[in-house]
Amino acid sequence: MTTFHYNPDKPHREDPDLYVTHWGKEDCAPGHSFGPGIREMYKVHCVHRGHGTVRVGGHEYKLTAGQAFMIYPNVVIQYEADESDPWTYSYCAFYGARAKELLDRTRLAPEKPVFPMDLQVMPSLYEQLTEALEREINRDLRLGAVLYRFLAALTEVAPAMPSAQPGSRKHHSYILRAMEFMHAHYSEPISIARLAADLGLDRKYLSAIFKEAKGIPPQRYLMEFRMNKASELLRGSGFSVGEIARSVGYEDALLFSKMFKKFTGRSPSEYRTEEMANF
């Protein structure tokens, strides 16, 4: 399934600060690909399910759900869906006088375009833009506000490396790797102890630097990420609660239901029923 929207409003001047041109969501067929080729503007892709590969500047990146990548204008890039588990992604294309300046606040570069999605803005970027499109009054401001929220979130999940404080740079690297690990393995019964071991760190030390940087401990971050993924599956699929529980790392469906209700205030069945009624 592919859905696609254009911004019907013309930019107020030829070189706007930021302008959303189009966005969409696609369940890709196995092996579906683009390139090698170029795009004429910035285009972000957020991976919701499945796997795929990005190749740019001699680098190859394997992506999975919870990750995203940025296409830079006039940079040759190739990306393709996995043959056995093709990805579903949403995307948004934009340009403007401030685009480069704002992206320079991140660690991203044309040849290093991959980053972890945040928990609040990026998973629903397509839905937020579509909702803004449906309200004609001040539509340009609403679309622009969504894009600015995305870029603000991007500067938080992939901030530019500080020029000083070598210890801070090392902490940033550990936290980024921890987030990418959780985004890649959230469907498995992973633990923070295993995560720390994979990073070569003491579990308490990892928890301390992660909480300092993100405001919550890694255990909470992983739980919230899993619950957001479960919410997406409950809204957009016919899978059973048990199947969804196992898909987000819970072998025990009762434990999953208890955690989900604690997180959302509703049981998975109540959440699905209410969300479908509001659709």
**What is the tens place of the pLDDT at every residue in 257-275?**
999 999 999 999 999 988 7
Burial 149-172 (b: 16+ CB within 10 A, else e): bbbebbbebbeeeeeeeeeeeebb
Q: Are residues 169 and 85 in the same domain?
A: no
Is residue 73 within 8 Å of residue 95, measured between CB atoms? Answer: yes
Q: Are residues 140 and 39 in the same domain?
A: yes
Dist CA 83 CA 31 (whole Å)? 5
At 20 the pLDDT is: 93
Q: What mean pLDDT is predicted for residues 216-231?
A: 91
At 166 the pLDDT is: 46
The whole-angstrom distance between residue 84's C-alpha and the CA centroid of its chain comes to: 22
Q: Are residues 100 and 208 in the same domain?
A: no
CATH number, domain containing residue 104: 2.60.120.280
Mean pLDDT of the chain: 89
The whole-angstrom distance between residue 34's C-alpha and the CA centroid of its chain comes to: 20
Q: How confident is the model at residue 164 (pLDDT cuts 50, 70, 90)?
A: very low
249 pLDDT more than 50: yes
Paired tokens of 127: 């839905």
The angle that helices 166-185 and 192-199 make with each other, rounded to 10 degrees, is: 130
Which of 98, 130, 157 is the last residue before a domain boundary?
Answer: 157
2 pLDDT more than 70: no
Q: Are residues 99 and 225 in the same domain?
A: no
Q: Are residues 77 and 99 in the same domain?
A: yes
Q: How confident is the model at residue 115 (pLDDT cuts 50, 70, 90)?
A: very high
Q: What mean pLDDT is predicted for residues 187-216?
A: 88
Q: Are residues 136 and 76 in the same domain?
A: yes
At 162 the pLDDT is: 57
Which of 142, 157, 172 is the last residue before a domain boundary?
Answer: 157
- pLDDT tens readout for residues 133-145: 987 788 888 999 9
Is residue 52 within 8 Å of residue 184, measured between CB atoms? Answer: no
Q: Are residues 133 and 214 in the same domain?
A: no
Q: Are residues 126 and 207 in the same domain?
A: no
Q: Are residues 187 and 103 in the same domain?
A: no
Task: Tell me the residue range of the domain where 222 lies.
Answer: 164-279
Question: Sheet harboring 51-56: ordered strands across?
Answer: 33-37, 77-81, 51-56, 59-64
Q: How confident is the model at residue 85 (pLDDT cuts 50, 70, 90)?
A: very high
Q: What mean pLDDT is predicted for residues 180-186?
A: 88
Verify cis geometry, omega within 30 degrees of 0, for the bond prior to 73.
no
Dist CA 35 CA 126 (whole Å)? 23
- pLDDT tens readout for residues 27-83: 999 999 998 999 999 999 999 999 999 999 999 999 999 999 999 999 999 999 999
Q: Where are the alpha helices (DSSP H) in the chain?
A: 99-103, 125-133, 139-157, 166-185, 192-199, 203-214, 218-236, 241-247, 253-264, 268-278
247 pLDDT more than 50: yes
279 pLDDT more than 70: no
Q: Are residues 12 and 120 in the same domain?
A: yes
Q: Are residues 116 and 188 in the same domain?
A: no
CATH number, domain containing residue 173: 1.10.10.60
At 108 the pLDDT is: 93
Q: Tell me the residue type at 268.
A: P
Dist CA 30 CA 25 (whole Å)? 16
Is residue 229 within 8 Å of residue 190, measured between CB atoms? Answer: no
Which of 157, 190, 221 is the last residue before a domain boundary?
Answer: 157
Q: How many domains does the chain have?
A: 2
At 135 the pLDDT is: 79
262's CB contacts (< 8 A; 6+ apart) are none
Q: Are residues 175 and 144 in the same domain?
A: no
